Amino acid sequence: MPMPHRTFAALAKRRLVGKEGRERIREVQALLAELPDYKNGPYADLRKTLLAEVEDTRVRSGALHRDSIAVRREGAAQIALVGPPNVGKSSVLQALSEIQIKTGDYAFTTLRPIPALTRIGGVLVQLVEIPGLIAGAAEDRGGGRALLGVLRSADAIVFCARAGADPAELAVVRAEVAAAGIDTPAVIAMTRADEAGPGARDRLVTAFPDLEVVPVSVLDEASLEAIRSTIWRLTGLIRVRLRSNGVTEDEPLALHPPATVEQVADSVHHDLAASFSGARIWGASARFDGQRVGRDHVVEDGDVVEILR
C-alpha cells in the first residue's frame, strides 16, 4: 500500500525546504521515483506539481536550463551508459576514462549526462552516462525527454544492471528507451560483478535473451578490458593505420565499414582524396604484403595503408 497522497505531499514539501538548484532537482527526482505510478487522481496531480517544480527550479537557477543537457560529440563514436540509479554507471565511466566524477551509494548522484573520453585500441571513443531514466521518462517524467534526446544521438547503448538486482529494474529503463523509439545496438553490463551471487548473470541472460551480458567490476581490470572490447565491437568501426616512407603510424584511423582506400585518403585530407593515385596495402584485405590497389579497394580491420600520391 502506498502512503496516503496527503502524507506524501507533506513529506515532499518537507524534503524540499531550503533546497535550491541541483540539490532541489535531485530531491524532486528522488520523490518522483518514489511516487506511485497512477495515471489519474491525486498522485497524478502531485506528479505534475513535482515536474513543474523541476522546470521552475531549472529556470530559477539558470544553470540547468535545457541547453546545458546537450553533450558535444567527440571521438570516433558515442556510447551511452544507461541504467537504473545507483548501479555503478559513474564508477564504470570513471574506471574506463581519466575523469573524476561524483559517485555515491545513493540514487541520482548524477543529474546530467556526463561525457568522458576513453581510448580503445588507440581510438578515442566518447562514453556518456545518462542518469535518472525512470518509469515515465518517455512522457518526460523526471525530465526524461531531454535525457532521451541525448541518448538518441548515441551510436550504441551499454545498459547497466547491478549484479544481483531484480532484472525488472533494468526492464523499466529499457521500456522507456523503446517507448522513445530508440533502437540502437546494445549490450548489458552486469555491474558490481564482484558482489554477484551465484546465478546473477544467468538471471539477466534469461530476462534479456536478445542482449549479450558482460560482467563488469571496477575492482577487476580484466573485466574492464572485456567491456572495452565489447564497446569497440558495438561501435561497428574498423581501424586502419597509415604508412608513409616505410613508417607506420601508431594512432589508427577509425572508419565505418565498408570503407574504401578513397575514404581512408579522405579522412586524412579532402585534397588528398581528390589527387591520390592509389595505395599499397598490408593486412587482411591484401593478397600479399604491400599489394598495389586502386581507390575503390575495400579495406579491413587492422589494415596498414600507404597512400600513393
Ligand X SMILES: Nc1nc2c(ncn2[C@@H]2O[C@H](COP(=O)(O)OP(=O)(O)OP(=O)(O)O)[C@@H](O)[C@H]2O)c(=O)[nH]1
Q: What is the DSSP string of 55-115?
A: HHHHHHHSTT-GGGG-----SS-EEEEE-STTSSHHHHHHHHSS------SSTT---S-EE
For ligand X, what does the binding mask look like between residues 68 and 87, x meaning CB under 6 A? -----------------xxx
Q: Interacting stretch for Mg ion, rule CB under 5 A, among 105-113, 235-243, 260-268, 284-292?
A: 105-113
Report the alpha-carbon angle 44-48-51, nearest 5. Answer: 135
Q: CB-based burial of residue 84 (10 Å sphere; 0-12 exposed, 13-18 middle, 19+ buried)?
A: buried
Q: Is residue 108 a contact point for ligand X (CB under 6 A)?
A: yes
Whole-angstrom distance, CA of residue 285 vs CA of residue 240: 11
Q: Contact 265/282 with Cβ under 8 angstroms?
A: no
289 binds, among Mg ion, ligand X, none (CB under 5 to 8 A by kind): none
Whole-angstrom distance, CA of residue 189 vs CA of residue 49: 35
Whole-angstrom distance, CA of residue 257 vs CA of residue 263: 10
Judged by CB, which is closer to ligand X: 90, or 263?
90
Q: How far is the CB of 145 from Mg ion (least distance, A)?
A: 20
The residue among 104, 69, 72 whose CA lies nearest residue 90 is 104
**Phi, psi (5° rounding) for residue 22?**
-55, -45
Q: How far is the CB of 49 from Mg ion (least distance, A)?
A: 26
Q: Is residue 215 a contact point for ligand X (CB under 6 A)?
A: no
Q: How far is the CB of 71 from ligand X (least distance, A)?
A: 15
Q: Is residue 105 a contact point for ligand X (CB under 6 A)?
A: yes
217 binds, among Mg ion, ligand X, none (CB under 5 to 8 A by kind): ligand X
For ligand X, what does the binding mask look like between residues 148 and 187, x meaning CB under 6 A? ----------------------------------------
Q: Is residue 91 a contact point for Mg ion (CB under 5 A)?
A: no
8 binds, among Mg ion, ligand X, none (CB under 5 to 8 A by kind): none
Whether cis (ω within 30° of 0) applies to the bond prior to 84 is: no
Give the one residue of 75, 131, 136, 215 binding ligand X; rule: CB under 6 A: 131
79 binds, among ligand X, Mg ion, none (CB under 5 to 8 A by kind): none
Q: Summarize as ranges the residues that interact with Mg ion (CB under 5 A).
A: 89-90, 109-110
